[in-house]
Amino acid sequence: MSHIRGKDTSIEVLVRSYLFRRGLRFRKNDRRYPGHPDVVLPKWRTIVFVNGCFWHAHANCKAFSRPKSNVEFWSVKLMRNGERDRLQHAQLVADGWRVIVVWECELAKPVREARLARLYDQITAMPDGQPGIIDDTIPAGGKGEPGTIV
């Protein structure tokens, strides 16, 4: 467990490299914001979180499985991580930021390029975009189309 990194993971580097190649400039792991976001794009008033499916208990994901040992500990820990994420995202939205969540499973080779292109479009489509959470894996408010602003 001591070798698990909290920042500069391979998926974060992948997303940042893509955004930089597309000409976007950003701050990384900025401690001034709740959750120390992986990518902060002040010009676009957008924050991007790149979440690992295990650590953030990605619902309905083939890459996520609950540990078989020490079940109580892991259940509490993963539930706490999810609750913390929701609170941090809500705070960022209240502060006027758009929050985009990119999941590890969305960066698998077969779908990687499409997801990264969609991420770029989500960032640049609305320079004065309304605050909200964009998570392509959950329907907005439990209904509607995935990828809409919650």
> CB of 120 within 8 A of CB of 19?
yes
Whether 73 maps to a domain, the answer reads yes
Task: Domain count for the chain, please give it.
Answer: 1
pLDDT of residue 128: 63
pLDDT of residue 143: 39
pLDDT of residue 134: 84
Whether 91 maps to a domain, the answer reads yes
Whether 148 maps to a domain, the answer reads no
pLDDT of residue 1: 53
Whether 5 maps to a domain, the answer reads no
Kindly compute the dihedral angle of the four CA atoms of residues 99, 49, 58, 64, in this order, to the nearest 10 degrees.
170
Whether 79 maps to a domain, the answer reads yes
DSSP string, the chain: -TT--SSS-HHHHHHHHHHHHTT---EES-TTSTT--SEEEGGGTEEEEEE-TTTTT-TT-TT----SSSHHHHHHHHHHHHHHHHHHHHHHHHTT-EEEEEEGGGGSTTTHHHHHHHHHHHHHS-TTPPPEEEETTSBGGGSS-BTSB-
Whether 143 maps to a domain, the answer reads no
pLDDT of residue 141: 43
Its domain, for residue 75, covers 10-135
Whether 150 maps to a domain, the answer reads no
pLDDT of residue 127: 62
- Mean pLDDT in order along the chain per 10 residues (150 residues): 68 96 95 94 94 87 83 91 94 94 93 95 78 69 44
Tokens of 46: 């957008």
Tokens of 28: 């990384």
pLDDT of residue 5: 63
Q: What is the CATH number of the domain that holds 56?
A: 3.40.960.10
pLDDT of residue 129: 63
